[in-house]
Structure 1
Amino acid sequence: MKPPPQADRPIVAVAYSGGRDSTALLHATARAAQEQGIAVAALHVHHGLQARADDWLAHCERQCAAWRRKGWPVHLVSRRLALQPVRGESLEALARQARYQALREMALEQGAGIVLLAHHRRDQAETFLLQALRGAGVAGLSGMPQAAERDGVRWLRPWLEHSREQVEAYVQEHRLDYVDDDSNDDPRHARNRLRLQVWPALSQAFEHAEAALADAGRWAQEASACLAELAAVDLAGAESEDGRLRLAPLLRLSAARGRNALRIWYRRQAGEPLPASALERLWRELPGTRAGQWETPGARLRCYRGVLQYEPRPAVVAVEPVPARQPTLSIRRAGRYRLVGWGGTLVARRVAAGGVPLARLTDLNLVERSGGEQFQSGPGRPPRSLKKQFQASGVPAWARTGPLLYAGEQLLWVPGLGLDARVLAEAGEVQLSLDWMPDVVG
């Protein structure tokens, strides 16, 4: 991408659809930037979903060009998307996720660490109502934050406390041209139904509905922050560095406090909330479970000996006739090695210590466990049978699948236990660690 105009200036980005709200925000930002010596990147995402999308892009190009002729430091950057939703996937959700990803990429390419979004108080009030109607908890009712930092970009909503009427007044005062998105009149979308059918009656019956609901969202944000801080205290003595969760400290808490900690722990691991129904089931079944597993969206939770572990699921593999098992393997570099017939993938990663010399991985035999194998779990420790090593290390049966790796007659690696201490590399040797990722059959 070519460097932006005024590349020597600090740059701030504005998400610019061409609609009323983003036009007003871009206009106000460009005017202020002219006085402060800042360049403005107008980020436009062409979703390719509307018949008039090309016209909207052309309008945005003309508008930015007109403002540049006035001497304003604004330039347009656009990105075209090619969305292909799978069956059953929400096109609205897919478009939103792709839009934010595109905005982030364009902002970073332009050297802008800040992206301004044109959401106002009505948007916040609508979000609160929609989340309440969906049965959201405190985190969902929090709505949109005024400021958030994600993936190297700071997202700001400077107009979140301004009413829609104030934005409309700004547009009229400055006689701004903007585009109308026909999809905003489509009642198939929940927000449109709320905006077109519910909001007029609500605002007529309750004059201050917009401000009151937006305030409720802010209270929910504060409550959500307090719950996160409380969970951090409760998880401090229960969560290990690798993300595993000891259940005993949580189960001693009250049900509400324990569920809160479990909810926050899951969000840390998954990056998304655990559905309420899954959380309730998990909390109900965990106390009496010694070994069990639960499926969640995109992951599997496994409990063994009072420890809960989050495992992201790899791509779903269709059930097919099992091929003959691959007997040998040669590893010459770090990477992922799909082992035919073994039901999984071996992941080799470059490490500075605690690995096996790369030279010992070029001629490996893949062997099924048969009994009598001896494994040394650490330097100076005696070799013991795999059964005893599994029991001593607390490795559940479902974590013992996969092949044993031999280099000649030497047992080198065991799923669930790792590398035999007798094959660990010396300091300074090129070395790799090995991990096993079993397939998920769907």
Structure 2
Amino acid sequence: MSEWIEGVLSRVSRHSCGGNRWLGFSGGLDSTVLLHLLSRQGLELRAIHVNHGLSANAGAWQEHCAAMADSLGVPFVARRVQVDRDGRGLEQAARDARYRVFGEVLQPGDELLLAQHGDDQVETFFLRLLRGAGALGLAAMADARPLGGASVLRPLLGVGRAQLEEYAREHRLRWIEDESNADQSLDRNYLRAAVLPLLSERWPLRERVTRAVQNLREAAELLGDLGSADLELCDQRRERFGESISLASVRLLPQRRRKNLLRSWIAACGGSMPEAPHLEQALQQALQSGEDTQMAVAVGGLVARRFRDRLFLTPPLPASPAGRQYRWNGRDRLELAGGWTLTVDSGWPQGDYQVCYRSGGERARPTHRRHSQALKKLLQEAGLEPWLRDLVPLVYRDGTLLAVGDLFLCEEGLEGSLKWRYGGACG
């Protein structure tokens, strides 16, 4: 067995997995080699393929990946996504779409194996350098990091593409060549085709970048330690949807520590390194004086929001579920739109229930009130964040409203209680 293969297997074995092991399987050379290598070693895996729909060949690629996984006896899951650029580069928009899928599929304790290799690391380093990244950004891709309650592992970062090609030829593997890789209008492709080969003629690029990345990661870890301490000082709190910190405490920090705090927080929640303008915009809007504003600033695949003088970091909101209805037996876990669930906490009676969402104009009478009131006002009084008020499930039986999520009951004498929870990353 070659030395690099032993290294890959050793990196995987050192990271214990308390749940399912997933492998991000695009069908390209790197993920094909990693899937083949690990499955041949008897490692229990599940392959997940994200179909971005950006190529006319996307459907054929998905079929190829399904067939490859089946030939290796690996369970296969595919998800199709809509890539919304929304002012971002195509690569970043596609990455954000992938990670939304990962956040929906992975459960606490699961591990996601990604197949980026050493040459990808070099490209990432130079891309971030040219974008003016700081120490954490220049530390490029970590070999392991948390992703919500799950974790990400990149066991191929010490391996070059040439070694993967040699393995693939030896085992007669077939892989997908994405035609967009030839498009030098994309920054990564231009670096790969026109810049890095010239630098590699003079310097051992992968080795030098690896050394720089290790040094920068040490510096980034020190900044991360400071960020973690500042998060604790700022009353970091797990919320129903994401997390929050006290803006009053953030205001006491100098600007450089505010930015470092936000970077560290985004990383801890499984986000990607945000662009500096987005980071500054989020802090500026969050710290402006006056009443709470309906801010929603995209940062690193997450969203910064503000409510009641706290800064929230949340996953992106799902599409509005307005008009959707569910039938529920009052016993089993009910899967709702966007990664939310409704379950019985204790004593809830079984029956035939209808679950839907606000459409406007609803009224409710909580059991501790004598009169009904507008549901909109009751949700405000309950302190539910504004961005969640259209997502709260309304539980009816025979046309009578019984419960508003797990916020309050509307039926006297009704026993039991419910749990309304988000199950995705940074939830």
Q: TM-score range by the shorter chain?
A: 0.5 to 0.7
**Aligned residues of 1:291 and 1:303 also touching (Cα < 8 A):** no
Q: Output the CA distance in 2 between the equivalents of 1:269 and 1:25.
A: 26
By how many angstroms is 1:127 displaced? 0.8
Q: 2:343 aligned with 1:364, yes or no? A: no
Paired residue type of 2:256:
A
Alignment counterpart, residue 47 of structure 2, candidates 42, 48, 56: 42
By how many angstroms is 1:238 displaced? 3.8
Alignment counterpart, residue 236 of structure 1, candidates 226, 232, 241: 232
Paired residue type of 1:217:
V
Q: Output the CA distance in 2 between the equivalents of 1:231 and 1:280.
A: 16
**Aligned residues of 2:144 and 2:153 also touching (Cα < 8 A):** yes
Paired residue type of 1:123:
D
Deviation digits for residues 160-206 of structure 1, max 9, x if unmatched? 1122222222223333332322111112322111111211112123x
Using a 3 Å threshold, how does the CA distance of structure 1 residues 91 and 276 change in structure 2: closer, same or farther? closer
Using a 3 Å threshold, how does the CA distance of structure 1 residues 427 and 215 change in structure 2: closer, same or farther? farther
Using a 3 Å threshold, how does the CA distance of structure 1 residues 59 and 293 change in structure 2: closer, same or farther? closer
Alignment counterpart, residue 118 of structure 2, candidates 116, 121, 130: 121
By how many angstroms is 1:123 displaced? 0.7
Task: Give the unaligned 5+ runs of structure 2.
Answer: 1-18, 321-353, 375-407, 419-427
Partner of 1:153: 150
Q: Output the CA distance in 2 between the equivalents of 1:301 and 1:60.
A: 38
Q: Output the CA distance in 2 between the equivalents of 1:44 and 1:272.
A: 20
1:177-256 aligned within 5 A: 177-205=174-202, 207-239=203-235, 241=237, 243-245=244-246, 247=248, 256=256
Partner of 2:84: 85
Q: 2:57 aligned with 1:52, yes or no? A: yes
Q: Output the CA distance in 2 between the equivalents of 1:89 and 1:112.
A: 31
**Aligned residues of 1:128 and 1:141 also touching (Cα < 8 A):** yes
By how many angstroms is 1:239 displaced? 2.8
Q: Output the CA distance in 2 between the equivalents of 1:281 and 1:143.
A: 23
Paired residue type of 1:83:
Q
Q: For the pair shown, which has the larger CA radius of gyration, 1 or 2?
A: 1
Deviation digits for residues 339-373 of structure 1, max 9, x if unmatched? 66xxxx99x9xxxxxxx952626x4356xxxxxxx
Partner of 2:169: 172
Paired residue type of 1:190:
D
Q: Output the CA distance in 1 between the equivalents of 2:305 and 2:157.
A: 38
**Aligned residues of 2:69 and 2:76 also touching (Cα < 8 A):** no
Using a 3 Å threshold, how does the CA distance of structure 1 residues 153 and 177 change in structure 2: closer, same or farther? same
By how many angstroms is 1:223 displaced? 2.1
Deviation digits for residues 17-76 of structure 1, max 9, x if unmatched? 22221221122112211xxxx4343333333332333433444455445x55xxxxx235
Using a 3 Å threshold, how does the CA distance of structure 1 residues 56 and 357 change in structure 2: closer, same or farther? closer
Higher RCO by CA contacts (8 Å cutoff, separation 6 or greater) = 2
**Aligned residues of 1:46 and 1:78 also touching (Cα < 8 A):** no
1:32-431 aligned within 5 A: 32-33=41-42, 38-64=43-69, 67-68=71-72, 74-83=73-82, 85=84, 88=87, 90-102=89-101, 113-205=110-202, 207-239=203-235, 241=237, 243-245=244-246, 247=248, 256-261=256-261, 263-264=263-264, 275-277=275-277, 295=295, 297=297, 309-310=311-312, 337=358, 357-358=366-367, 360=369, 363-364=371-372
**Aligned residues of 1:302 and 1:309 also touching (Cα < 8 A):** yes
Q: Output the CA distance in 2 between the equivalents of 1:193 and 1:105.
A: 33
Deviation digits for residues 242-282 of structure 1, max 9, x if unmatched? 844354x6666665345433554677799666653465578
| Count of aligned pairs | 333
Partner of 1:13: 22
**Aligned residues of 1:45 and 1:103 also touching (Cα < 8 A):** no
Q: Output the CA distance in 1 between the equivalents of 2:270 and 2:116.
A: 27
**Aligned residues of 2:39 and 2:74 also touching (Cα < 8 A):** no
- Give SS of 2:23's match: strand
Using a 3 Å threshold, how does the CA distance of structure 1 residues 122 and 280 change in structure 2: closer, same or farther? same
By how many angstroms is 1:228 displaced? 1.9
Q: What RMSD, in angstroms, separates the aligned Cα atoms of the two structures? A: 5.0
**Aligned residues of 1:357 and 1:429 also touching (Cα < 8 A):** no
Give the alignment's TM-score, normalised by structure 1. 0.57
Using a 3 Å threshold, how does the CA distance of structure 1 residues 226 and 167 change in structure 2: closer, same or farther? same
**Aligned residues of 1:263 and 1:273 also touching (Cα < 8 A):** yes
Paired residue type of 2:214:
R
Identity of aligned residues (%): 31
Paired residue type of 2:228:
A
**Aligned residues of 2:83 and 2:97 also touching (Cα < 8 A):** no
Q: Output the CA distance in 1 between the equivalents of 2:311 and 2:218.
A: 30
- Give SS of 1:297's match: strand
Partner of 1:440: none
**Aligned residues of 1:125 and 1:217 also touching (Cα < 8 A):** no
Deviates more, 1:116-125 or 1:266-275: 266-275
- Give SS of 1:166's match: helix
Give the alignment's TM-score, normalised by structure 2. 0.59
**Aligned residues of 1:358 and 1:430 also touching (Cα < 8 A):** no
Using a 3 Å threshold, how does the CA distance of structure 1 residues 339 and 266 change in structure 2: closer, same or farther? farther
Paired residue type of 1:232:
S
- Give SS of 2:48's match: strand
